[in-house]
A and B are shown apart, each in its own frame.
Chain A
């Protein structure tokens, strides 16, 4: 039995093509994935991401808990509302999940974790809190009476459309710099996203989600499926858990070194393994020079040895195929490599792992 978000019937009423996405019945598109992609780059689109799980942490020892739990350093969170992207690692340094931590007060943090990993994440967090004997209460907010829905409204016109529908959020969110959040009564509005565009992720009581979704649609926000979300995040060079990294992959080999705070004395789960292993692979972008489409698991042949594509698709912004790839150390931006696509070796160019943001190609 597939799980459903509170917006499931709204998606079906819009004629969405529904797919099984990690056990969730979710819209992959409402017609044309490419049109939805362009709507976000050029105007404004919205995604139901209520399958992702908000987790509230409360208690006197949230900070010491998070300081040991995740690879990035919550000491960077000094201003209430600030958000931090981090990986949560196992002892071997593999990625259990990637998540966003919002700092609300010293006794209250909100974490948003991936849909398919939420159960294991919660079990892991609770086990660590018990093991370390810290005063932290862990409360998932995806189900039950206090369930939250999450609607991501993204694109250059996202702010204006959100304020049109939810004017009471304008004062609190107008001055939000990227990667901040504000709470306005029962709404939580964050300047975060997974598209490389301006916009908000809004958490709200699940009971209100369908009405707000409809009002946003009436305001001209294009409903967008998880298909467009994937090509948008790929163009923006953002990792997808389960494809670009998982429990067997170090964040240092997945382009996430910038999220790992290794240098100070702080200890965190997985740190000793990362220190011992160091970086073993380069995580880079590829642009296909020949015709075809790059896909996950295709082999990449380089002068330094073979690598593998972790995520690939067609880029609607660049109008050619792009990919994220884990390659041997020593492969450099600008190198020409070959990709094995169904037995044919096609030429690709190595790029930095970001292709388009804010409506434009960046390579």
Chain B
């Protein structure tokens, strides 16, 4: 059973989203996603300043086994990336909610309401 914190929002494509006090959102991949991928060995992050539409490929995580795209959970501009996650991909396996990948300023913060809550994401993860 994977860990799905109740305070986060989720995309069905297995990203978690945390709304910060400054209006930015922090994004990572879920515990379910890291477990399904297995040992991560490479993380490719977006460039700060780049704008992405919702559901566009924004980052890549690769395990020994496979490469997986990470999708922008909502439309916005990247403000910061977590170089520590790229330098130590295994940190995402160790704690997927601590090892965030990037932060972005949403075009429209109301887009968060379109994302899944923990219960709805748990159902997605269980069905996968």
Chain A interface (Cβ within 8 Å of chain B)? 17, 28-29, 32-34, 37, 227, 231, 291-293, 295, 313-314, 316, 321, 342
- List 12 extra interface pairs beyond A32-B38, A34-B64, A314-B41, CB under 8 A: A17-B36, A28-B38, A33-B64, A34-B39, A37-B64, A227-B65, A293-B67, A295-B67, A314-B62, A314-B64, A316-B64, A321-B42
B69 to chain A, nearest CB (A): 9
Closest Cβ of chain A to B23, distance in Å, is: 31
Residue contact B38 to A17, C-beta cutoff 8 Å:
yes
Q: Is B18 an interface residue (CB 8 A)?
A: no
Given A28-B65, A227-B64, A314-B64; A293-B41 close (CB under 8 Å): yes
Shortest C-beta distance, B25 to chain A (Å), equals 25
Residues of B within 8 A of A314 (CB): 41-42, 62, 64
* Chain B residues whose C-beta falls within 8 Å of the C-beta of A227 in the assembled complex: 38, 64-65
Given contacts A314-B64, A316-B64, contact A291 B42 (CB under 8 A): yes
Alpha-carbon distance A293/B44, docked complex (angstroms): 11
Q: Are B44 and A292 in contact (CB under 8 A)?
A: yes
At the interface, yes or no: B53 with Cβ under 8 Å from chain A?
A: no
Nearest opposing residue in chain A for B57, CB measure: A342
Q: How far apart are B71's CB and chain A's nearest CB, in angstroms?
A: 14
Tell me the count of chain B residues lying within 8 A, CB to CB, of chain A. 13
Q: Mark B3-34, 1 if CB is under 8 A from A, else 0.
A: 00000000000000000000000000000000
Contact: A33 with B38, CB < 8 Å?
yes
Task: State A293–B37 Cα separation when bound (angstroms).
Answer: 14
Of A17, A32, A231, A342, the contact of B60 (CB 8 Å cutoff): A342
> Are the CB atoms of A231 and B42 closer together than 8 Å?
no
Nearest to B87 among chain A residues (CB) is: A291
10 sample A-B contacts, Cβ–Cβ < 8 Å, listed by A number: A17-B35, A17-B36, A28-B65, A33-B38, A33-B63, A37-B64, A227-B38, A293-B62, A295-B67, A342-B60
Q: What's the least CB distance linking A22 to chain B, in Å?
A: 15
Complex CA distance for A28 and B39, rounded to whole angstroms: 12
CB distance from A305 to the nearest CB of B (A): 26
- Inter-subunit contact B64/A313 (CB<8 Å): yes
Which residues on A sit within 8 Å (CB–CB) of B67?
A: 293, 295
Task: State the CA gap A293–B38 with chains docked (Å).
Answer: 14
Q: Sort A-B residue pairs by CB-CB distance and give the 5 closest, nearest first.
A: A314-B41, A293-B62, A34-B39, A293-B42, A314-B64
Taking CB atoms, residues of chain B closer than 8 Å to A37 are 64
Residues of A within 8 A of B41 (CB): 293, 314, 321
* Residues of B contacting A321 in the complex (Cβ-Cβ under 8 angstroms): 41-42
In the complex, A52 Cα to B30 Cα: how many Å?
35
Beta-carbon contacts of B42-63 to A below 8 Å, as 1s and 0s? 1010000000000000001011
Complex contacts, B38 vs chain A, CB 8 Å: 17, 28-29, 32-33, 227
User: How far apart sit A28 and B38, CA to CA, in the bound complex (Å)?
Assistant: 9
Q: How far is the CA of A291 from the CA of B42 in the complex (A)?
A: 8
**What residue of chain A has the Cβ atom nearest to residue B86's Cβ?**
A291
The minimal Cβ–Cβ distance linking A20 to chain B, given in whole angstroms, is 14
B65 CB to closest chain A CB, in angstroms? 6
The CA of A32 and the CA of B65, in the complex, are separated in Å by 11
* Chain A min CB distance to B100 (Å): 19
Shortest distance from the beta carbon of A221 to any chain B beta carbon, whole Å: 21
Nearest to A231 among chain B residues (CB) is: B64
Cα separation A203 to B126 with both chains bound (whole Å): 37
Which of A32, A314, A316, A321 is packed against the most chain B CB atoms within 10 Å? A314
- Residues from chain B with a CB closer than 8 A to the CB of A29 are 38
* Cα–Cα distance between A316 and B63 once the two chains are bound (Å): 11
The residues of A that contact B62 with a CB separation of less than 8 Å are 292-293, 314
Distance A314 CA – B39 CA, assembled complex (angstroms): 10
Distance in angstroms between the alpha carbons of A37 and B41 in the assembled complex: 14
Contact B39 A32 (CB under 8 A): yes
Q: Report the nearest B residue to A293, measured CB to CB.
A: B62
User: Please, which residues of chain B bring their CB within 8 A of the CB of A32?
Assistant: 38-39
Chain A nearest Cβ from B122, distance in angstroms: 19
Chain A residues, CB < 8 A from B42: 291-293, 314, 321
- A316 proximity list for chain B (CB < 8 A): 64
Instruction: Output the nearest chain B residue to A32 by Cβ-Cβ distance.
Output: B39
